[in-house]
Amino acid sequence: MFKFGGRIQCRSSSHGRPASSQTRRPSIEQGGQPIPVPSRFDNSENRKHSIVNKKEINENINEEEEDFYKRLRPRPKLVLGGRGALGLLNWPRGVCAVPRELFEEEDDFGTILAVADSSNHRIQLFSSNDGLLIRSFGSFGKEDGQFDGCCSVCVHHERKEIFVADRYNHSFIRKFGIRGSGPAEFQHCWGIAIDEHLGVVYVADKDNHRVQMFNEDGTFLSRFGSVGDGQRQLNHPLYLMFDSNQRLLYVSDSANNRLSIYSPDGIPVFQFQGSENDSEQLKLPRGIALDKKGCLLVADSGNSRVQIYSTHSGGHKIIKKFGSWGPSPGQFKGVEGICCLQNDENNEEILLAIADRENNRVQLFG
Q: For residues 187 and 86, what is the distance between their CA atoms, to the nearest angstrom?
A: 29
Any domain includes 241: yes
By DSSP bridging, strand 178-179 and strand 171-172 are unpaired
Q: Where are the alpha helices (DSSP H) in the chain?
A: 44-47, 54-58, 63-71
Any domain includes 275: yes
Any domain includes 157: yes
* Structural domain that includes position 214: 2-9+61-365
Q: What are phi and psi of 357, to 5 degrees?
A: -55, -65
pLDDT in tens, the chain (366 residues): 232 223 333 333 333 333 333 333 333 333 333 334 433 333 333 333 333 333 433 444 456 666 778 788 889 999 998 887 777 999 999 999 998 777 665 566 778 999 999 999 999 999 988 899 998 988 898 887 789 889 999 999 888 888 898 877 766 545 566 789 889 889 888 999 999 999 999 999 999 999 999 998 889 999 999 999 999 999 999 999 999 988 999 999 999 999 999 999 999 999 999 876 778 899 999 999 998 878 899 999 999 999 999 876 667 888 899 999 999 999 999 999 999 997 655 556 788 999 999 999 999 998
Q: For residues 320 and 302, what is the distance between their CA atoms, to the nearest angstrom?
A: 17
Q: For residues 266 and 263, what is the distance between their CA atoms, to the nearest angstrom?
A: 5
Spatial contact of 147 and 140, defined as CB atoms under 8 Å apart: yes
Q: For residue 363, how many C-alpha atoms fall within 13 Å in the half-sphere facing its CB?
A: 25
In 10 A of CB 49, how many CB atoms?
Answer: 17
Any domain includes 274: yes
Q: Per-residue b/e over 282-299, b at no fewer than 16 CB within 10 Å?
A: bebbbbbbbbebbbbbbb
Any domain includes 249: yes
In 10 A of CB 210, how many CB atoms?
Answer: 22
Q: What are phi and psi of 272, to 5 degrees?
A: -140, 120
Any domain includes 194: yes
Q: For residues 57 and 66, what is the distance between their CA atoms, to the nearest angstrom?
A: 16
Which of 101, 57, 99, 93 has the alpha carbon at shortest distance from 338?
A: 93
CATH number at residue 342: 2.120.10.30
172: helix, coil or strand? strand
Q: For residues 293 and 216, what is the distance between their CA atoms, to the nearest angstrom?
A: 27
Global pTM value:
0.80
Any domain includes 31: no
Q: For residues 293 and 312, what is the distance between their CA atoms, to the nearest angstrom?
A: 9
Any domain includes 20: no
Number of domains in the chain: 1
